[in-house]
């Protein structure tokens, strides 16, 4: 599945006729940090304050980070890249992810808007609450998951607006650029290529080299 972008400019294209909706769709890259770093700090404090223990807190926090990489892959591959057939479905797809592929360097549409990320955060929190009975462990796991999301958002912005000369960052940026400019049916991992390798959606080594 290959698809060309419409524009590689950094400026935003208009998505909504209503001005307030248009404003909500544009998010500077630092906004998620302002919203979620305090959330991470609060939950970690609460995890330790209610007796979670340093070792258990670190372990569950790491588990949350790892869980994010799975969620990132599933959301990107099966939700963001699901192409519906109905007219309204196609419109929703464009709003959630299609606009990013059409205008991949739009600097104000590279991180998830709070109007989408906050409901998702609540949804995942209550999902984890149903699975993790121990409150201290829950309060350590959830900020790990949120930290994974923040890493994803910041890395995604950097991949489209920063130049990496060598090393892991250069390799993972190339992985994401191939997803955008070569074949969007591969390379769904953004902050990690692990699940692309496991589920055979990685690019051939001759392309990624």
Average pLDDT, the chain: 90
Considering the chain, what percentage of its residues have pLDDT values greater than 70? 96
113-138: b (≥16 Cβ within 10 Å) or e: bbeebeeebeebbeebeeebeeebbb
Residue 146, in any domain of the structure: yes
User: What integer is the mean pLDDT of 181-207?
Assistant: 89
Res. 3 pLDDT band, cuts 50 70 90: low
Residue 15, in any domain of the structure: no
Range of the domain at 162: 30-166
- What tokens were used for 14? 């208009």
pLDDT for residue 25: 83
pLDDT for residue 92: 83
pLDDT for residue 208: 45
Q: Into how many domains does the chain fold?
A: 1
The tens digit of pLDDT for each residue in 155-177 reads 999 999 988 887 888 999 999 99
Residue 142, in any domain of the structure: yes
User: What integer is the mean pLDDT of 66-89?
Assistant: 92
The tens digit of pLDDT for each residue in 113-138 reads 998 899 999 999 999 999 999 999 99
Nearest alpha-carbon partner for 76 in 208, 162, 170, 199: 199
Residue 141, in any domain of the structure: yes
pLDDT for residue 195: 96
Please give the Cα distance from 37 to 25 (Å, whole number). Answer: 21
pLDDT for residue 4: 66
Q: Is the pTM of this model over 0.85?
A: yes
Taking CA atoms, 58 is separated from 55, 127, 135, 138, 199, in Å, by: 5, 20, 15, 12, 28
User: What integer is the mean pLDDT of 43-56?
Assistant: 94
Q: Which of 6-15, 47-56, 122-131 has the highest mean pLDDT?
A: 122-131
Say whether 94 sits in a helix, a strand or coil. helix
Q: Helices 135-161 and 31-49 sit at what angle, rounded to 10 degrees?
A: 160
pLDDT for residue 206: 44
Residue 20, in any domain of the structure: no
């Amino acid at each position: 599945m290959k698809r060309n972008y419409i524009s590689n400019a950094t400026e935003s294209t208009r998505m909504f006729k209503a001005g307030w909706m248009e404003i909500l769709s544009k998010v500077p890259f630092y906004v998620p940090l302002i919203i979620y770093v305090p959330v991470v700090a609060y939950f970690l404090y609460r995890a330790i304050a209610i007796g979670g223990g340093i070792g258990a807190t670190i372990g569950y926090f790491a588990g949350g980070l790892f869980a994010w990489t799975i969620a990132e892959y599933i959301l990107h591959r099966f939700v963001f890249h699901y192409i519906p057939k109905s007219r309204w479905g196609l419109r929703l797809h464009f709003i959630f992810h299609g606009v990013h592929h059409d205008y991949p360097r739009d600097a104000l549409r590279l991180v998830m808007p709070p109007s989408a990320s906050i409901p998702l955060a609540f949804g995942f929190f209550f999902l984890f609450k149903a699975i993790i009975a121990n409150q201290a462990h829950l309060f350590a796991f959830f900020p790990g998951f949120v930290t994974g999301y923040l890493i994803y958002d910041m890395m995604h912005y950097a991949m489209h607006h920063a130049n990496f000369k060598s090393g892991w960052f250069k390799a993972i940026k190339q992985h994401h650029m191939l997803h955008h400019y070569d074949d969007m049916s591969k390379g769904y991992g953004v902050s990690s290529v692990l699940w692309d390798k496991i589920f055979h959606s990685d690019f051939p080594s001759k392309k990624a080299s």
